[in-house]
Amino acid sequence: MPTFPQPPAAAEVAAAADGARESLAEVASSEATLRRFLHGLPGIDAVGLQSRAASLGTRSIKTTAKAYAIDLAISMIDLTTLEGADTPGKVRSLCAKAMRPDPSDPSTPRTAAVCVYPDMVPVARAAVAGSGVQVASVATAFPSGRAGLPVKLADTAEAVAAGADEIDMVIDRGAFLSGRYLEVFETIRAVKEACRRADGTSAHLKVIFETGELQTYDNIRRASWLAMVAGADFIKTSTGKVAVNATPANTLVLMEAVRDFRAATGVQVGVKPAGGIRTTKDAMKYLVTVNEVLGDDWLSPDWFRFGASSLLNDLLMQRQKLTTGRYSGPDYVTVD
Amino acid sequence: MSETTTPRLDVHKTYKLFVGGKFPRSESGRVYEVTDRKTGDWLANVPQGTRKDTRDAVAAARKAVGGWSGATAYNRGQILYRAAEMLQGRREQFAAEVALSEGVSTKKAAALVEAAVDRWVWYAGWTDKVAQIAGSANPVAGPYFNLSTPEPTGVVGVVAPTRGNGFSLLGLVSAIAPVIATGNTAVVALAPDAPLPGLSLGEVLATSDLPGGVVNLVSGRTEDIAPTLASHQDVNALDLTGVNSPEGPGSARALETLAADTLKRVRRPDVTDDWTAAQGTDRLLAFLETKTVWHPMGI
């Protein structure tokens, strides 16, 4: 039974990242230099990218490798509930599931985190206390990102004060698409500051691009670099609230960006595809892609996460199939 | 210059599975050969459905349970009747397939197809009458109406008939129609040696307003498909009509043992050798659960 490391203290990661990023900081000294830098990034061959992503999805993963992949995928899930109808009871039951995904099989690993709205952070914090499951909170006027900076910072600070380990912020796609890169950059910087806690440690910052709204792969690459230079600890594809969420191709762009960023600066940034990943097969395609593009270094919950809710049930059913030899059904996993 | 007429090339039909209202090939990509029962000549390549195909079929059947069991009995009857109409419209094709599959004359095959049409109609009529014979108003010692009503069991795995006069279509219809008439959904393991009428029946059902997933037809080795259905935790009942291997993973004993783990309802193998005989309500009542409600009376 493999064990999967849980995320290290966010503070250590953040401190290391801040120092190394200084080498790229001058690109953001003005709107013009930032634009020159982002538009100087190499363009993406869309057809090549899609065929590469598709070809990585054709691998056949069976038996022991499949069992390992399933457990790894479970340990990478940010179990998410982001509904207007969320109640404290629903969040508590989600937390119980995150800590013990399959009560009938204690060898099932726990998920990496639960992901909730800021007002539910205290409930989640209390529910997962001591279990090692992190509490992630969306912030900055999720999912649209359309609010003034003070509101976004207050949103973030509230979640951090309530005990969130990780903050999932959204960028202002309107500003990004109209070319106001510096504004997006400064917002990420400011939110990163707001992630600091009173004791000097800092919550992990994930930056959501909403790739489905960025129109082109080139834009996704630019947004990735923009966020990484600004200080993101994780870059995340989508909110899960629009028509096009994580796809293998746009996640591949993110992966290439973090790979190149580490080569350039030595700083490792995590990747989180979110939304639309529902089956074990989908999850395994992403894991294959991680392994092929990024290698072992990213194959851990510290550096790769799935933002998902229904994926967990499918993984559990497949896991039951592997242990018992018979196909399981939705009656044998909890209803979210 | 002499006139030569080149013979027209036949367009062979690609037989496919029927799962979730769609016609997929087997996920394995494999096919096997079906032969003429009398001469042994090659007839067609049919998909060799696997355990995964069966699992997909069960998932499709499960998805269809809510809508189909919630449809009014009257509506289900109309849809079954519509299936009979569609079957009648294609009876020549079916007669040819039945003749080749069972090794009977075309004339006899045509009679068997007509009997199959009539059987659909007969079961279509039963949809809104089952509750009258399987339900009851129970006398109780208190001020209550006490009513028992039959409800569908859920997903039923069916091992299609493999022998008996008219098994390949009439027998298949006699196994599927009673299962779905009462609001269940079905995953059917077709007779491995005679799957052609069954696979074509999928095309009939697809054009009959039957919601996708209510009937799923999988051809292939019964040793693969039947144990998957029997052990699947999301299958509620099992009809072993066509099981005839005395031992091994496809035997009735092995399947019943697997099914026992999840407390499935099981209907034992059928020994009938003539599917043209009247069916009775036996099969209709085999896959029902009784719900009893107490309702205060008066006031």
Say if A62 is an interface residue toward chain B (CB within 8 Å). Answer: no
- Assigned domain for B173 exists: yes
For the ranges A20-34, A217-231, B282-296, the lowest mean pLDDT is seen at A20-34
Determine the residue type at B170. Answer: L
Task: Tell me the mean pLDDT in the region A81-110.
Answer: 95
- Assigned domain for B206 exists: yes
A245: its two tokens: 């969420």
Task: Tell me the mean pLDDT in the region A283-288.
Answer: 96
Confidence at A11, pLDDT banded by 50, 70, 90: very low
Contacts of residue A329 in chain B, CB cutoff 8 Å?
58, 62, 232-235
Q: On the CB side of B4, how many CA atoms lie within 13 Å of its CA?
A: 3
Q: How far is A325 from chain B (nearest CA, A)?
A: 9
- Assigned domain for B20 exists: no
Distance separating alpha carbons of residues B110 and B120, to the nearest angstrom: 16
Whether the predicted pLDDT of B291 surpasses 80: yes
DSSP per residue, A168-205:
EEE--HHHHHTT-HHHHHHHHHHHHHHTB-TTS-B-EE
Whether the predicted pLDDT of B237 surpasses 50: yes
Options A155, A272, A282, A302, the catalytic residue:
A272
Whether the predicted pLDDT of A25 surpasses 80: no
Distances (CA, A) of B194 to A324, B22, B30, B125, B160: 33, 21, 17, 28, 10
Task: Tell me the mean pLDDT in the region B176-187.
Answer: 98
Structure confidence by residue, pLDDT tens digits, B252-270: 999 999 999 999 999 998 7
**pLDDT of res. B244:** 87
Structure confidence by residue, pLDDT tens digits, B67-115: 999 999 999 999 999 999 999 999 999 999 999 999 999 999 999 999 9
Q: Give the count of domains, chain B.
A: 1
Confidence at A21, pLDDT banded by 50, 70, 90: low
Distances (CA, A) of A280 to A112, A270, B254, B268: 17, 21, 30, 36
Q: Which of A60, A318, A322, A326 to substitute to test the interface with B, most B CBs within 10 Å?
A: A326
User: Which domain does B277 fall in, by range?
Assistant: 40-296
Whether the predicted pLDDT of A26 surpasses 90: no
- Assigned domain for B242 exists: yes
- Residues contacting B195, CB < 8 A, separation 6+: B15, B34, B46, B219
Question: Interface pTM (ipTM) of the complex?
Answer: 0.84
Structure confidence by residue, pLDDT tens digits, B106-160: 999 999 999 999 999 999 999 999 999 999 999 999 999 999 999 999 999 999 9
Q: Residue B293's closest CA among B150, B132, B141, B146?
A: B146
- Positive or negative, the CA dihedral B251, B254, B257, B263 is negative
**pLDDT of res. B271:** 79
Distances (CA, A) of A335 to A113, A309, B267, B292: 18, 11, 31, 26
Residue A272 bears catalytic tag: yes
**pLDDT of res. B247:** 85
Of A223 and B271, the one with more pLDDT? A223
CATH classification at residue B235: 3.40.605.10
Of B114 and A24, the one with more pLDDT? B114
Whether the predicted pLDDT of A7 surpasses 50: no
Distances (CA, A) of A301 to A202, A307, B148: 18, 12, 53
Name the pTM for this structure.
0.89
Helix, strand, coil percentages, rounded to 5, for chain B: 40, 20, 40
- Assigned domain for B152 exists: yes
Confidence at A20, pLDDT banded by 50, 70, 90: low
Whether the predicted pLDDT of A18 surpasses 60: no
Whether the predicted pLDDT of A5 surpasses 60: no
Q: Residue B69's closest CA among B178, B154, B149?
A: B154
Structure confidence by residue, pLDDT tens digits, A289-333: 999 999 999 999 999 999 999 999 999 999 999 999 899 988 889
Whether the predicted pLDDT of B196 surpasses 60: yes
- Which residue in chain B has the smallest CA separation from A328? B233
What average pLDDT is seen over chain B? Answer: 95
Maximum pairwise Cα distance, chain B: 99
Confidence at B285, pLDDT banded by 50, 70, 90: very high
Strand ranges inside B93-154, DSSP E: 136-138, 144-152
Cβ of B247: how many Cβ atoms within 10 Å? 9
User: Which residue is it, tokens 């992403």?
Assistant: A286
Structure confidence by residue, pLDDT tens digits, B9-34: 989 999 999 999 999 999 999 999 99
What average pLDDT is seen over chain A? Answer: 91
Say if B63 is an interface residue toward chain A (CB within 8 Å). Answer: no
**pLDDT of res. A1:** 45
- Assigned domain for B140 exists: yes
Determine the residue type at A217. Answer: Y
User: Which residue is it, tokens 């719900």?
Assistant: B291
A267: its two tokens: 């700083």
User: Which residue of B55, B234, B258 is in closest CB contact with A330?
Assistant: B234
**pLDDT of res. A10:** 42
- Assigned domain for B5 exists: no
Distances (CA, A) of B268 to A77, A289, B256: 44, 48, 9
Task: Tell me the mean pLDDT in the region A58-87.
Answer: 95
B167: its two tokens: 């098994």
Q: Residue A242's closest CA among A217, A211, A272, A215?
A: A211
Distance between alpha carbon B188 and the CA centroid of its chain, in Å? Answer: 5
For chain A, report the end-to-end CA distance as a whole number of angstroms: 27
- Assigned domain for B35 exists: no
Assess contact for A271 and A234: CB atoms under 8 A: yes
How many percent of chain B have pLDDT more than 90?
92
Residue ranges of domains in chain A, CATH in brackets = 45-327 (3.20.20.70)
Options A78, A102, A155, A168, the catalytic residue:
A168
Maximum pairwise Cα distance, chain A: 61
Whether the predicted pLDDT of A17 surpasses 70: no
Q: B35: helix, coil or strand?
A: strand
Task: Tell me the mean pLDDT in the region B52-65.
Answer: 96
Name the β-bridge partners of B158. B188, B239
